[in-house]
Amino acid sequence: MRIYTHPACLRHDTGYGHPESPARLRAVLEALDDPRFANIERVEAPRVDRGQLLRVHEAAYVESIFAKEGLSLHLDPDTVMSPGSLEAALRAAGAACAAVDAVTGGEIARAFCAVRPPGHHANRDTAMGFCLFNGVAAAAAHAMERHGLERVAIIDFDVHHGNGTQGIFWNDPRVLYLSSHQMPLYPGTGASNERGAGNIVNAPLPPGAGSREFRDAWEEILLPALVAHRPQLLLVSAGFDAHRADPLAQLQLDAGDYAWITQRLCALADAHAQGRVVSTLEGGYDLAALRECTAAHVAAMMD
């Protein structure tokens, strides 16, 4: 097991009162300071390179983000760039790609990327939803193009649907995208009839849904699709904002639900993907819940 992070991810300054703040990553790192995790290897995340980004983003979009280096501005009402944001985004996406190199190369079986900004709302040509570059999408494309994998699965249990990831792989049957999320909720996508090339499986949950509805969705809809895909690698968009304490949504999960889904995913990875799981932080905006859920997730990955 390995943890990828970088101090640059703390220097992405979204401004006073923004929910996607540096305090989130500090809370995650505090959770990982638990003695249970003392023996996990810690690695400094490298920068993603332009070639890795260009597999999933339009060249003009990538260049537009690089051109804003050092500036402070809003890309949309929710998505902010500060002087430290480009470096943070490069390290966040680079962590996921480096973790793919490590698990496909047999160095480790599992990795957790403690990084920000998140990525799963970033589409090919658009920043949105706090996201600049789609790290989990870059990691999936890297796994296929660099390492020759033929079947990759992206598992997204963030409370907000990963519209960017879904859009990027909409017509690519090599990548199975599975998502549970609250609906209706931002960004408004993720209906069960959104199927792509048959490789998109969404299980929307209504506001107020809790553990039973979440676990049923995974047991009855999402995990069977994962088994059928026979993935060679599992990538996890690990958002912890479906927790009942989170201020941005209304699902009612707790840390035990995140431990449960992580255990199920790791068992399926052991059966189908040589144990290979790379998880990267997405949402989660109540700091106490974020600490608790991160610890539950990483402990389950260790087990």
Q: What angle do CA 221, 204, 113 make, to 5 degrees?
A: 85
Segment 165-195, tens digit of pLDDT: 999 999 999 999 999 999 999 999 999 999 9
Say how many residues make up the chain: 303
Q: Give how far the C-alpha of residue 254 lies from the chain's centroid of Cα atoms, to the nearest Å.
A: 18
Segment 107-161, tens digit of pLDDT: 999 999 999 999 999 999 999 999 999 999 999 999 999 999 999 999 999 999 9
Q: Is 142 a catalytic residue?
A: no
Contacts of 56-63 with C-beta under 8 Å, sequence gap 24+, read 56/124, 56/134, 56/137, 56/138, 56/141, 56/168, 57/122, 57/124, 57/125, 57/133, 57/134, 58/124, 58/125, 60/125, 61/124, 61/125, 61/126, 61/127, 62/133
What single DSSP character describes residue 36? G
Segment 87-101, tens digit of pLDDT: 999 999 999 999 999
Segment 255-291, tens digit of pLDDT: 999 999 999 999 999 999 999 999 999 999 999 999 9
Give percent of the chain with pLDDT exceeding 90.
100
Cα separation of 266 and 258, whole Å?
Answer: 12
Cα separation of 227 and 225, whole Å?
Answer: 5
> Is the bond preceding 117 in cis, omega lying within 30 degrees of 0?
yes
Q: What is the structure's pLDDT at 303?
A: 86
Catalytic residue among 12, 57, 120, 121: 121
- Would you say the pTM of this structure is higher than 0.85? yes
The arithmetic mean of pLDDT across residues 53-70, rounded, is 98
Report which of 2, 162, 12 is spatially closest to residue 98, judged by C-alpha positions: 2
The two beta strands, 80-81 and 73-74, are antiparallel
The arithmetic mean of pLDDT across residues 284-299, rounded, is 98
Catalogue all structural domains in the chain, each as residue range(s) with its CATH number: 2-302 (3.40.800.20)
The residue behind tokens 């409370």 is 159
